[in-house]
Structures are given as structure tokens and as C-alpha cells.
Structure 1
Amino acid sequence: MTTPVLSGIHHIKIPVTDLARSVAWYGQVFGFQTTIEFPDADGVARGVAGTAPGLGETMIAFRVNPTAAEGCQGFDPVSFAVDGKDDIEAWAARLDELGVRRSPVIEASIGWLLVFDDPDGLTLHLYSWAEHGIDQSHRPGYGRPAAH
């Protein structure tokens, strides 16, 4: 049987403790704009989804779930892509301007990387498509070609 083909990522869903705070933060940092609200039976919206510049059709969704948000602290489920090192450095300057604590620019497994946390402590990555050409495979935690 042939495996059907995927056509991209529809959305990523991020658990949050405070929906308004997260929407404001992602709006300030990434330009997130809410396009859909998800009200519970009591009529209160405890989830939203929307868009951010550069993500094309892929949406970001947020759902109030304090237990999941706490469990995800320090975890990095998504890396947002940028083109190259200049873009990583521009993002570093932008995060500094916003007062968002961040890592230095890292020469990661393949490209350049910037690491920072959202308001709930979820670790976010900005990773470049451009490769730096440095072999990091000898370093613990860095990628290496998979053995087949």
C-alpha cells in the first residue's frame, strides 16, 4: 500500500495559562493575529487560532491548559524557520528591543539558532534554513547522520 502524501502543517497548538497574555506576547514578538476563537459551553473563549507573518497557511493556536503548559516548560516543540544568519541576528536585535531574554546566536547542528521562552516557559527556536557548514556531529546533543 502506498503512503498518502502530507500537504504541510495545518496548525501548531500551544498550551497556555493566560490566553490574553500569550496572545499579546505572540502578537508583539511574531505579529500574531487572532482569526478564530473557540468558546467553551459557558461562552468564554479559552482557545484561539490565527496567523503570523511568514508562516503561510500554517496557523498558531493557543488553548488554556495550565497542566499541559506547566508540563511543557523548557521543552522546544517547534522551531520557526528564518532564511539565514543575518535573519537570526535581526531577530536577536528584535528580541533585545522587546526585552525578551534569549540565547546568543548558536551554531547548531546544521544552521544558526536562537533560543528563548514564551511567557509560560515553553522554549521556542528560530532556526536558519541556511547551513553554516560546520560539522557538529561530535558534540553531545547535536545531530549526526542517521545510521540505516
Structure 2
Amino acid sequence: MAGLARIRHVKLPVSDLARSVAWYCDLLELRLAGEFREEGELRGAQLMHPSGFGVALREREYCPGQPDLAGFDVFALEVDSVDDLHAFAARADELDYTRGEVFDRGEQGAFLDLVDPDNTVVRLLANNPFHADRFLGVDADGKGGFTLYDQPTLV
């Protein structure tokens, strides 16, 4: 659709706003760009990256349905190289934050999962094989293996 440029931000429910702001700022180099108060009480924060994307955080108890995203990768961020994934892994270790291993699948891309204080997964990708100009399907076998296919089954 004409006029769309990019995702501006994602919004995540958190159990401790200050702790989550610190995690996202420390590890992902976001900066606090805004706060949201309701009836004088701090309920949310807007964090921004210099590249223009943002992560909004809202105290879970004030979210409709109080969603819990533990273990789910709500969004992924792209980095320039596998070396960058290793640098983020080292930074997470330095800060004593939970993370997965760097998985490098060659031309099928590489990723690293970072786990925020609420156990929501932030996935970092390098050499991402998905592009807007071609289709790529992935069939995972549940044991860490996968095959790729080039014809969509949804259409």
C-alpha cells in the first residue's frame, strides 16, 4: 500500500517497567524517548533506536487481558553480520542477561535469541533469507532440521 514506510514500534506488556526499560536500553542501545502516565501514575515508556524503530513498553496489569508472551519471539531485529550476533551475545553475557546460542545456518541465515526480563524473546537475525520480492517457505521437522520450499500453500 502506498505510504507505508516501516514498522514504527512494537508494544510489549511488562511486569516491571523500570527493569524492562533498563534491559532494552542496556542491551539494544535504545534510549528513553517518552513516558506515559495515567492519573499521575507511570504506566508505559517509548524507547527509540537511532535508526528509527521503537519499542513501547506498558505495565502488564494495565493491558487488556494482561497478555503474557513468555517464550515467544514477538519481533525480530536485523543486524549486519554474524559477527554482530556474537557481539550481542557477548554483551548479554557481560550484563548477565539470558540468551540463546548463535545459530548460523549459512545461506539460510543466522539468529540469536535474547530473553527480556519477562521471558519475551527478542530474535536478532543476520543474513535473513526472507525478501519482499520472492517467496520462501520453511518446513521444520521439530528436531532442529528443516527443508525449504518455493510455492506458497496459502494461495
TM-score by length of 2: 0.77
Greater than 3 Å deviation, 4+ residue runs: none
Tell me the residue number matched to 1:63: 58
Contact 1:51–1:60, Cα closer than 8 Å, also in 2: yes
Which residue of 27, 43, 49 maps to 2:46?
49
Query: Which of 90, 95, 101 is the equivalent residue of 1:98?
Result: 95
Counterpart for residue 112 of structure 1 = 110
The share of aligned pairs that are identical, in percent, is 34
CA RMSD of aligned residues (A): 2.2
> Is structure 2 residue 21 aligned with structure 1 residue 23?
yes
Q: Is the CA contact 1:84–1:130 (under 8 Å) kept in the aligned structure 2?
A: no
CA deviation after TM superposition for structure 1 residue 19, in Å: 0.6
More displaced 10-residue stretch of structure 1: 17-26 or 122-131: 122-131
Matched with 2:71 is: 74
Give the equivalent residue in structure 2 for 1:134. none
| 8 Å Cα contact 1:88-1:105 kept in structure 2 | yes
Partner in structure 1 of residue 141 of structure 2: 140
Look up the equivalent residue of 1:37 and give its one-letter code. Answer: E
Q: How many residues align?
A: 136
String of CA shifts for 1:88-126, please: whole Å, max 9, x gaps. Answer: 111111111111222221125821111121000101111
Residues 20 and 96 of structure 1: CA distance in aligned 2, closer, same or farther (over 3 Å): same
- Cα distance in structure 2, aligned partners of 1:39 and 1:6: 29
Secondary structure of 2:73's aligned partner:
coil
Separation of aligned partners in 1, 2:81 and 2:149: 22
Amino acid at match of 2:151: A
- What SS does structure 2 have at the residue aligned with 1:78? strand
* Structure with more relative contact order (C-alpha pairs < 8 Å, separation 6 or more): 1
